[in-house]
A and B are shown apart, each in its own frame.
Chain A
Amino acid sequence: MANVHSPVTEFNYLEIPPHHWEEELSLLKMVGTQTVLLRIPWGAHETSKGMRDFSRSSRLRLEKVLKNLADQHLKTQLQFGYFCAKEMLPSWAFSASQKTTIPAQVWDKESDDVSLVEVPSLFDHDLWASFKEFSNDVVKLSALYVTPHGPVEKIFLNLKLFAFDRDLFSSEEFTHCFKELYPNFDKINSKYNVILKSSPPILSTVNYRVLYKSRPWLASFDYKICREKLLTQLKEKATSIDSARGLEDHFEVETSESLEILSNGNSAVAIDPVFLDFSRDKVFPFCPQGLISPSSAFAFRMAEYFKEKTHFHRQSFFSLPLMGDSEPFPFNFISVICGKYLTRAAYQYLEKIWMRGGTVFFPFGFPQFDEHMVVLEWAGGMEKKTLSVGESRLQGYLRGLGIVCAPMQAFSPTQMVWDEIDKIRVGFEAGGTQ
């Protein structure tokens, strides 16, 4: 059913009798719709494996819908792939041996609990082969209707939910990625402080449980790094399907969705991303194989708490980078929510902030190690100073043009912690540092 309030209006051709398509689209045009989103559910077009229907059944006549859209001069965005809709996946796809476990909220945006759902995984080779054929057909057909001769402005292949996959252990590629990180057992044993027996495979589900129990932060980080690599590979595979050649301006594979940053104001709360996953407006606990460590559970509670508080006080809330080099937002004061560990990428991100004059505040104390178990250097050769901000006393370092600091005694994670942090922020903004 069409939602006429959004700037892009969805037209669900499967739920509208084909003889009403023209009439419904003309109604949409009349109420001021400019752009229509057409979702093409795989499950509806390929009810039997290998038998794809885009023209036989009247409700599946994709070309007819596209012609109707062209007649109404409605700009069109096509979307196929993985999204929450009726008939999105063919029932036979559920027999795929490999499954993707994702937060229920990723699948169904209206859902609000933290449970998980399972969907067939495109990392399953057989399923990928079938999906690739379907994708080829969709793109080939849509290519006939792209702008400037047709209404289709964009063709999106939505694979975003694979960025949340919590169960990649049965994927050969995942094991391969992990082997690249840890070519032998000595390295893994010393880093995780465990004694894994040197029998293959290096990454069984049992082994991963041992690693996760010993060092949950590190195990989560390593998992996420491998997942990122797999996601890049999946994106490359999907972008290079035959029929997409020459459609570079129109065809886009979507594999990620990051937390939307409210960039109003000069201050923000940033959180370590390792125990969490983020979508545009939601936070999920990261639980590989459905496992939740106490640290992960606590990180999730903190994320929800600070997300709510920053939203209420119109401040920004975002996740620090997991990897790579990114340019920071121009905040003057950042409170960083993390535990004993912080990624090297996050450290470098924060470094840019203090170097240009910002203040980085760790309310729960300075993190000590990065993902390589290398000690994080907060002093940078500077002498530790005692700073007075309003009535509070902090310990910190003058770095670059800015300050890195933490309370003399780490704050306790109680209900009042927001007020305590905010007092420090207000103190800094008032320029009361001594």
Chain B
Amino acid sequence: MKRRYCVTKISQREKQHFLQVAGFHSFRFFFLEVSGESILRALEVRGTHCSVQLEPVTLSQMKEFSRSYPDPILFLQSPEGASPSSLRTFNENATLWEEICPFPFSLFARYFNSAEGGVHISPDPIRQAFSQLFSALQCLETKMAETELSILWFHSPEQEIAFLCHYVRKRRLGVGTSAELLQIAKDFSEGGLTKNKLFEMFGTQTSFFNVDLSENTAENPILRISAALEKATQEPFQVLVSHLQTELFESDASI
């Protein structure tokens, strides 16, 4: 029987937990949101902690501020007189990164994903690193979308989090999380996860991706997660119904 796939929607706390697992707990950057000529938000971000800043006060001060600020800057600009971000109806085309990351980290993906423009990332090396990260994530998601369900397990030696993504005709319908997914991950790490078991659990084509963040020792968390995503893409644990039917048939035959 096909099981229901509903999992709890990802909460803010879980999104923040993901950042920690992904190694962004001490990643610092400044987030500026500007609408027309007005600065709407200035946040100093340190990992999962955001601190509201009243400076810079004006756009002219902002240029000077940007030049002297030591950390990366994410700058979101809406057109003159427009609403804070362009009007959108239900976040239909959100990338996977936007789904699993807290604000304003989620906005990094918008730079690479959106035709709207208005997102700037500085300095160049950080932008390039994020570009690499989102290419890796896109490749992984192409692989994930091959099956109706995909479990994405991010883990470092200290922490872990797992997401379940639901795809229909290669389109992501939902992302969620639940404690049960970590049990599946535990089975996987202990070598106890079989394709039959995965099929029994979900009753449909399912993939399991192991994003191991402990293998790469790069100091930059962006590069570390990119490498882990690339590796996970190359080594998926997939149960496709056609494969499974063959296996079951063979085992029946042997009986």
Contact surface of A with B, Cβ cutoff 8 Å: 1, 3, 12, 15-17, 101, 104, 107-108, 110-119, 285, 287, 290-294, 296-298, 300-302, 304-305, 308, 413-415, 417
Contact = CB atoms under 8 A, between A and B. Distances in A.
A104 B82 contact: no
B85 A113 contact: yes
A16 B102 contact: no
Interface string B93-116: 000000000111011000000000
B204 to A, nearest CB: 15
A16 B52 contact: no
Contact of A293 (B38, B57, B84, B87): B38
B228 interface: no
Contacts of B53: 305, 415
Given A297-B38, A415-B54, A112 B103 contact: yes
13 contacts: A110-B9, A110-B10, A112-B103, A113-B84, A116-B83, A117-B90, A118-B89, A292-B40, A300-B40, A301-B40, A301-B42, A305-B54, A308-B51
Interface of B: 4, 6-12, 33, 35-42, 51-55, 57, 81-91, 102-104, 106-107, 176, 178
A85 to B, nearest CB: 10
Given A108-B91, A304-B52, A290 B103 contact: no
Nearest to B85: A115
B160 to A, nearest CB: 21
Given A110-B12, A118-B87, A297-B40, 15 more contacts: A1-B8, A12-B6, A101-B83, A104-B91, A112-B102, A112-B103, A113-B84, A114-B84, A116-B85, A117-B87, A287-B83, A291-B83, A301-B41, A301-B52, A301-B54
A377 B82 CA distance: 37
Closest 7 CB pairs of A and B: A290-B83, A115-B85, A112-B103, A297-B38, A114-B84, A15-B6, A294-B38
A308 B52 contact: yes
Contacts of B55: 414-415
A114 B38 contact: no
Contacts of A415: 53-55
A115 B7 contact: no
A315 to B, nearest CB: 16
Contact of A1 (B7, B39, B107): B7
Contacts of A110: 9-12
Nearest to A307: B52
A292 B104 contact: no
A291 B35 CA distance: 9
Task: Describe B's contact surface by its main secondary structure.
Answer: loop
A410 B176 CA distance: 49
Contacts of A413: 54, 57
Contact of B4 (A16, A114, A301, A305): A16
Contacts of B104: 112-113
Contacts of B37: 294
A117 B89 contact: yes
A107 B91 CA distance: 11
A129 B203 CA distance: 43
B4 A17 contact: yes
A292 B11 contact: no
Contacts of A119: 89
Nearest to B14: A110
Contacts of B176: 1
B183 to A, nearest CB: 16
B107 to A, nearest CB: 7
A297 B42 CA distance: 11
A116 B81 CA distance: 14
A62 B171 CA distance: 31
Given A17-B4, A301-B54, A114 B40 contact: yes
B179 to A, nearest CB: 11
A359 B82 CA distance: 40
Contact of A290 (B12, B87, B106, B107): B87
A300 B52 CA distance: 11
Contacts of A291: 81, 83
Given A12-B6, A417-B54, A101 B87 contact: yes
Nearest to B107: A113
Contacts of A304: 41, 52
Contact of B35 (A101, A297, A308): A297
Contacts of B87: 101, 115-118, 290
Nearest to A107: B90
Contacts of B107: 113
B12 A112 contact: yes
Contacts of A112: 12, 102-104
B6 A115 contact: no
A17 B107 CA distance: 36
B90 to A, nearest CB: 7
A110 B98 CA distance: 12
Contact of A285 (B6, B51, B81, B84): B84
Contacts of A308: 51-52
A292 B6 contact: no
A393 B43 CA distance: 32
A292 B38 contact: yes
Contacts of B84: 113-116, 285, 287, 292
B98 to A, nearest CB: 10
B40 A285 contact: yes
Contact of B83 (A17, A108, A292, A300): A292
Contact of B38 (A101, A104, A298, A302): A298
A297 B56 CA distance: 13
Contacts of B106: 113
A115 B86 contact: yes
A114 B91 contact: no
A295 B142 CA distance: 45
B103 A113 contact: yes
B8 A3 contact: yes
Nearest to A12: B6
B52 A305 contact: yes
A119 B88 CA distance: 10
A298 B36 CA distance: 13
B64 to A, nearest CB: 15
